[in-house]
Amino acid sequence: MTKARVFLVFLVAFGLGISLGSVVPLGVLAGAGLLGAGIAALISSRPFFVLFLALGFGLGVLRSLGPVWELPLGWLLSSLLALKASFLASLSRLFRPPSDSFLAALLVGERRSIPNDLLQAFIASGTVHIIALSGYNISIVTGAFRSALSWLGAGRRLRFWLTLAAILLFVLLVGAGASVVRAAVMGILVVLARSEGRLYAPWNALVFAGAVMLLFDPGLFEFDIGFQLSFAATAGIFLFAKYFEKKLERLPKAAGIREVLVLTLSASIATMPLILYHFSRFSLYAIPANLLILPTVPVTMLFGFLAGVIGMVSEALAQAPALIASLLLLWEETVARFWASLPGANLRLESFSLGLLVVVYGGLAWWGWRLSRRSFPKYAAKPHR
């Protein structure tokens, strides 16, 4: 087993320790963990590897009990919150309700101000995942920035440092929330992999980003629905994209129809159990709704972000990108409301228990493992030379 694979499994054990430590009593967990680790070490041909995993699991359990250290970062957090407030205020001045709150959710994961009727429309149409900020959002920013730098003739090393600076600037501007930092970690790993001319291993990035976020805030796993949806959607793409790409190879590639459908199916399969668990709802129209909305999301984010940043300095200069973003936001809201208004768009389940959620995801994990043991989808970054 390679060192990278060992480190990946260690991070998985760390995350598992945090998740179980949040819901299982410490005494029960410690007894079962020590007994299981001891037995596994005795019967395994790699006892030190088992103990290494047990260490990662134990560190995760300890982290779930509370902060391991305290850092004097109050001044920095205050500055970040003020910067985020300024950015959101800029969006509020440039966009009318509910587009302003929708764009805030799309860009920075700020969902609290979205009107309930619009949020319910996203849920009923099966498109609520677009407002769960993820690595996809960061990839849009970094992809556009790297393309612009390449067009301007910047060298590989210069592109790396400028793109890294752009990611950090993006994180600062939107307030360094949990979802933003998680997505930024994955984005930085992509940039680093490209700069070194190596394949980007998506599972390593996903697990590493999760471990970093859980290290600083173990409550994300249990309480942050956006965290759960974002990771589930990303993992779904890693697991099932190849399968659906092969099944849909006869569909045209024009306008990105096949790619959008592949990503929609892959992400929808992985996020549907969570949506059922948290919202007790199921939409029959998730696929057509996503096909109409997802292709416009990158452009919406680009012009919305430009409008918000420029608007912090000059509202007059921000009017042009704000107009383009407003039209796209109106389209996305209209599509979501239309599909949500149709019969069967808001099917309710009486109960979808935690136990059933675990069983369903266990089945999906087994299916994904059977489909591809490597789980390297077509959409992973390629080496850049």
Q: Tell me if 174 is assigned to some domain.
A: no
Tell me the residue range of the domain where 50 lies.
3-64
Domain end residue (candidates: 64, 89, 116):
64
Domain end residue (candidates: 64, 92, 117):
64
pLDDT computed for residue 238 by the predictor? 79
Based on the structure, what is the number of domains in the chain?
2
* Same-domain status, 239 and 338: yes
Domain end residue (candidates: 64, 91, 115):
64
Output the tens digit of pLDDT for each of the chain's 385 residues. 555 566 667 777 777 777 777 677 766 666 677 777 777 767 777 766 777 677 777 777 766 666 544 445 555 556 667 777 888 899 999 999 999 999 998 887 777 788 999 998 998 888 877 886 665 566 666 666 777 777 778 777 777 777 777 777 666 666 555 556 666 766 666 566 555 555 556 677 777 777 777 766 666 666 677 678 777 877 887 788 888 888 888 776 665 567 777 877 887 788 888 888 887 777 788 888 888 888 788 789 889 988 998 999 899 999 999 999 999 999 999 999 999 999 878 777 777 888 888 899 999 988 888 886 654 444 444 444 4
Q: Which residues pair with 348 in a beta bridge?
A: 281
pLDDT computed for residue 9 by the predictor? 74
* Same-domain status, 8 and 130: no
pLDDT computed for residue 182 by the predictor? 63
pLDDT computed for residue 55 by the predictor? 74
Q: E strands of the chain, at which residues?
A: 281-282, 347-348
Q: Tell me if 179 is assigned to some domain.
A: no
* Same-domain status, 17 and 112: no
Q: Is 128 exposed, middle or buried (0-12, 13-18, 19+ CB in 10 A)?
A: buried
Quote the CA–CA distance of 159 and 166 in Å, as a whole number: 10
pLDDT computed for residue 323 by the predictor? 96
Q: Contact 221/354 with Cβ under 8 angstroms? A: no
pLDDT computed for residue 352 by the predictor? 80
CA angle, 177 as apex, 173 and 181 as ends, to 5°? 85
In 109-177, which ranges are continuous DSSP H helix?
116-125, 135-151, 156-174
Quote the CA–CA distance of 245 and 378 in Å, as a whole number: 9
Q: Tell me if 196 is assigned to some domain.
A: no
* Same-domain status, 57 and 84: no
* Same-domain status, 112 and 89: yes
Q: Tell me if 140 is assigned to some domain.
A: no
